[in-house]
Chain A
Amino acid sequence: MGGGFALRDLFRLRAPLPRTVSALIALAASALVLAVWEGVARLGLTNPVFFPAPSAVISAMMRMFADQHLAWNAWVSILRVWSAFLLAAVMAIPIGMMMSAYRAIGAALEPIVDFIRYLPVPALVPLSIIWFGVGEETKIFLLWLGTFFQLVLLVSDDMRRVPQEYIEIAYTVGAKPGQVLKDVAFRAMLPGLVDNLRITLGWCWTYLIIAEIVAADSGLGFVIWAARRYMKTPEVMAGVFLIGIIGLLTDQLLRAAHRRAFRYL
């Protein structure tokens, strides 16, 4: 622990925390929660059918990896999340930028986007099944629906926050509107955009589980739902855990990429 860090710094308001200390505290807190949980279960304070110990959850997860294609199911879910997410992002970024670059486009689209944005995705499951059946299209559609309309407004806000000075600097060195959008506005909003994409990716998992519970024979949502039918609580928890772990890893990777890509911040 470097830099003359003292124990009393932990209790000073907004005192800086060295990275190693921060990582140790994070690990210790998680370990503590698991230990308490394990202890409560071992002492027989909870019914193992409803609340199994973390060790039982982990051994269930190992068993599922070995015999029940858990890795494949996780992979199927990840693919669904990313394909819907990328589709939503590729559409939302240009449309959101246009909405704030050209007031007329914004005026036309904002009420429509706002209306759809407030529709709860689960309410559209029946409609989606009528339109697309129970195949992959339904899942991608539901995930896209849940993220695209949110993302469009976030992108449009990011674009609105680009300082007018940047736009005008570009114009006064002779840039055309397309170049202003591409070389300056997009570049200026990129760090905020990447943050918003990272947050939206998290929502994708919520909608994925809904989609996989309603209509699927693969994926983590399906695994969780199938285990529930036989009251296999450790397996239900193992599925939920795995989603949490995937989310945690993805988020940390994206944060690290953000720090590397936007070193100038």
Chain B
Amino acid sequence: MTAHLTFTNVTKRFGKVEVVATPFNLQIARNEFVVFLGPSGCGKTTLMRMIGGLDTPSTEDIRLDGAPVGGPDWRRGMVFQSYSSFPWLTVAENVAFGMRYRTDLSEEEKLGRRDHYLDLVGLYEFSDTYPNRVSGGMRQRIAIARTLAAGSDVLLMDEPFGALDAQRREQLQGELRRIQRRDAKTVVFVTHDVEEAAFLADRVIVFSKRPARIMAEIDVRARLGEDRTLEMRDGADFFALRNEMLRLVRASAGEEP
């Protein structure tokens, strides 16, 4: 396992507010699915945004393949909870937008990739529809297909399924996990939903309240293996893991920094 992403002694302040106070260190392996789990407003999103180059650490650095991350680019794609696709573009145009500024791909390659990823997330038949005509779950699929089409090998996801109903959320979690295994992507996924974390992650990082600090690390892969299925969600192993994580989250939310 080689480190794909490295945080070295990272701290972050917004003015006087310390978001990450204790120097933060973390290594994320290539193709690893890491979930940042913690109470709302704890700073986990800020840490993820710093990977994307949308926020800058106050001290020390974050490296991707050994090079400092710098500003945002297409190698690190972002999926937000809301406003995740552009309403004035059709579904297909939204997916193609991921490659709009890439000059190394020909127009044919772009069209091929667009259709490939539309098909992968099951939206091909909705190509010419506008996002406001499709469900919330489909809109999140558009965003996932866009980042994949862009060629990002790091997917940064900020509670992408937070606004969906339980059934759609389960379905999309399954799809995301399958795509991540198949296309070998490194994923950093932010959530406060314990079950979601347990189902998706190779590794879960549990955060304290702000300023963000690592409370615990859970190697989910060692407990549940690589393949995740809906049936597994009803199993005793999953249930035990979920309860264990729930206790950790409760403890972290209750603890004063």
A interface residues, Cβ below 8 angstroms from B: 163, 165-166, 168-169, 171-176, 179, 183-184, 187-188, 190, 262-265
12 A-B pairs within 8 Å (CB atoms) are namely A163-B82, A165-B83, A168-B78, A169-B78, A169-B97, A172-B53, A172-B72, A173-B99, A173-B101, A174-B101, A187-B88, A188-B88
Q: DSSP class of B's interface residues: helix, strand, loop or mixed? A: loop
19 additional contacts (CB under 8 A) given A169-B97, A172-B54, A173-B146:
A163-B82, A165-B80, A165-B84, A168-B52, A171-B54, A171-B71, A172-B53, A172-B147, A172-B152, A173-B74, A173-B77, A173-B99, A173-B100, A174-B102, A175-B100, A187-B86, A262-B88, A263-B130, A264-B131
Q: From A168, A263, A265, name the one whose CB has the most chain B CB atoms within 10 angstroms.
A: A168
Q: DSSP class of A's interface residues: helix, strand, loop or mixed? A: helix
A174-B80 in contact (CB<8A): no
B76-A172 in contact (CB<8A): yes
B130-A264 in contact (CB<8A): yes
Interface digits, B193-212 against A, CB 8 Å rule (1 contact, 0 not)?
A: 00000000000000000000
B interface residues, Cβ below 8 angstroms from A: 52-54, 71-74, 76-78, 80, 82-84, 86-88, 97-102, 130-132, 143, 146-147, 150, 152, 156
A168-B101 in contact (CB<8A): no
Q: From A173, A264, A265, name the one whose CB has the most chain B CB atoms within 10 angstroms.
A: A173
User: What's the least CB distance linking B20 to chain A, in Å?
Assistant: 20
A165-B88 in contact (CB<8A): no
Residues in A whose Cβ lies below 8 Å from that of B131: 264
User: What's the least CB distance linking A182 to chain B, in Å?
Assistant: 12
User: What's the least CB distance linking A145 to chain B, in Å?
Assistant: 33
Residues in B whose Cβ lies below 8 Å from that of A184: 86
Residues in B whose Cβ lies below 8 Å from that of A176: 101
A127, B76: Cα distance in complex, Å = 57
A187, B147: Cα distance in complex, Å = 20
> What is the chain A residue whose CB lies nearest that of B84?
A165
Given A171-B54, A173-B150, are A264 and B74 also a contact pair (CB < 8 Å)? no
> What is the chain B residue whose CB lies nearest that of A176?
B101
Given A172-B54, A264-B88, A265-B132, are A183 and B100 also a contact pair (CB < 8 Å)? yes
